[in-house]
Amino acid sequence: MLERLFRLSEKNTTVRTEIIAGITTFMTMAYIIFLNPAILSTDFAGNPTGLSYDAAMLATCLAAAIATLIMGLYANFPIAQAPGMGENFFFVTVVMTLSAMGVVDSWRVALGITFISGILFLLLSLLKFRKAIIDAVSPSLKNAIAVGIGLLIAFIGFQNGGIILDAPGSLVQFNSNFLQADVLIFFFGLLLTAVLFVRKVRGAILWGILASAILSIVLGKVQFVGIVGLPQDHAFLKFDLLGALKLYTLPFIVVFLFMDLFDTMGTLIGVGEQMGIMKDNKLPGANRALISDAVGTVVGSCTGTSTVTSYIESAVGVQYGGRTGLTSVVTGLLFLLALFFAPLAGMIGKYATITAPALVIVGAMMVRNVSKIDWEDYSEAIPAFLIVLGIPLSYNIHDGLAMGFIAYPIIKLSTGRKADVNWLILLVAVLFILRYVFVKV
């Protein structure tokens, strides 16, 4: 049955190899089970967003499991999916922006926006219109988005770890009190994770989180409450669709759409290259993978989490021999199994210092894209730089993107490079401008 379903012989693999690859992929990306609920349940200032930790944890595991199983069974690709790092931070940005505008239950509206972006992505995938969207944004801007979000994620990690403190007059300052428990736990987790990462230990980020949790218990910062148990809350179908269908939500929908599309295509191309199945710079069967990814986002918004996307950590499973969707099926089933460890997840996720080193490491992984920006072409470099610097300094992904996306067409058109500006970029720029003209937040 497995042979017929996944074509194992054709892909030159075995059931044993696929199972090991699936377990390896899960270990590499299991940190999202702890990180995503911690991110979605509190805003950047540490205030509750309205979405509870348990509900976000349940949604994270369910969305990752269902999306990954669809990827394995429908697309037959060894690619795992889960709520994206970067997308979850933008989700919180949307929640904060809507709250500042006076929108009630802004987290529910944000879920509605995620649902709409997922439906649009699904339609674009079915209509095979994705190429136009991918081509609309220059490689420099795509990579700048990843770099800017990586810097923001790392900055928040330093804040959560107690390393960066508020400093009136100079914005922030370094905490030199290394004897504080928070600081000790942070540096212990950061250095341990970095060493494991450099030594290519499977699940380095996960082991770093668990080791930091143990130290936190020893130092009395966290109380052990058990390991096995189910989440005690949910956010099934709690999105506000009517609230998401407003003019001022259009820029948010477009940004969610772009972020998901770029992440997915980058992962598909990277994993496809590693598998050696790319033909003429195209990935056979990529449209099925895009459809699976879009369905994952729709499912994720229905369960109560931010945009679901394909994870580049899947490349680790491919490195260990994964070649078919059976790898993804194993990973998806392990995400379902993780649901039974809600007390452990809650204990770790609710003390921000434990997961802070993971944010810094993930940020470092994302910042490496800075080398892919065309720094020699100033019409590309300046808008990209505005995004890279704008996201962490404005403490807002939406505002950082707006700076670059508005500047890009203006600079290009003003210097006679009309051919470089796609109409979709113009549309996004206009939407951003309208948002700032009519929404004073």
Taking only the tens place, the pLDDT of each residue in 358-372 is: 888 888 888 888 998
Residue 269 has pLDDT above 80, yes or no: no
Residue 440 has pLDDT above 60, yes or no: no
pLDDT band at 244 (very low <50, low <70, confident <90, very high): very high
Highest mean pLDDT among 103-112, 129-138, 250-259: 103-112
pLDDT band at 66 (very low <50, low <70, confident <90, very high): very high
Residue 281 has pLDDT above 70, yes or no: no
Taking only the tens place, the pLDDT of each residue in 207-230 is: 998 899 899 999 988 888 888 999
Q: How far apart are CA 107 and CA 115, in angstroms?
A: 12
- Please give the residue that has the higher pLDDT: either 165 or 61: 61
Of the CA atoms within 13 Å of residue 119, those in its CB half-sphere come to 11
C-alpha dihedral, 25 to 27 to 29 to 34, nearest 10°: 160
The length of the chain, given as a count of residues: 441
Taking only the tens place, the pLDDT of each residue in 124-176 is: 888 877 666 666 778 888 888 888 888 988 898 898 888 988 877 777 888 87
Q: How far apart are CA 411 and CA 417, in angstroms?
A: 8
Q: Please, are residues 266 and 372 in contact by the beta-carbon 8 Å criterion?
A: no
Of 242-246, 269-273, 348-352, 425-429, least confident by mean pLDDT is 269-273
pLDDT band at 254 (very low <50, low <70, confident <90, very high): confident
Taking only the tens place, the pLDDT of each residue in 294-345 is: 899 999 999 999 999 988 778 778 877 889 999 999 999 999 999 998 888 8
The DSSP result for 31-61, as a single string, is: THHHHHHHHHHB-TTS-B-SS-HHHHHHHHH
Taking only the tens place, the pLDDT of each residue in 365-417 is: 888 889 989 999 999 999 999 999 998 998 877 788 889 999 999 999 999 99
Q: How far apart are CA 441 and CA 435, in angstroms?
A: 9
> Where is 150: in which H helix or E strand?
helix 139-160
pLDDT at 133: 66
Q: Please, are residues 415 and 152 in contact by the beta-carbon 8 Å criterion?
A: no
Residue 198 makes CB contacts below 8 A (sequence gap 6+) with none
Percentage of the chain modeled with pLDDT above 70: 95
pLDDT at 46: 84
Q: Please, are residues 306 and 149 in contact by the beta-carbon 8 Å criterion?
A: no
Average pLDDT over residues 432-440: 76
Q: How far apart are CA 31 and CA 364, in angstroms?
A: 16
Taking only the tens place, the pLDDT of each residue in 5-27 is: 898 988 889 999 999 889 988 98
> Where is 264: in which H helix or E strand?
helix 250-275
Tell me the average pLDDT of the chain: 87
Residue 441 has pLDDT above 60, yes or no: no
Q: How far apart are CA 56 and CA 36, in angstroms?
A: 7
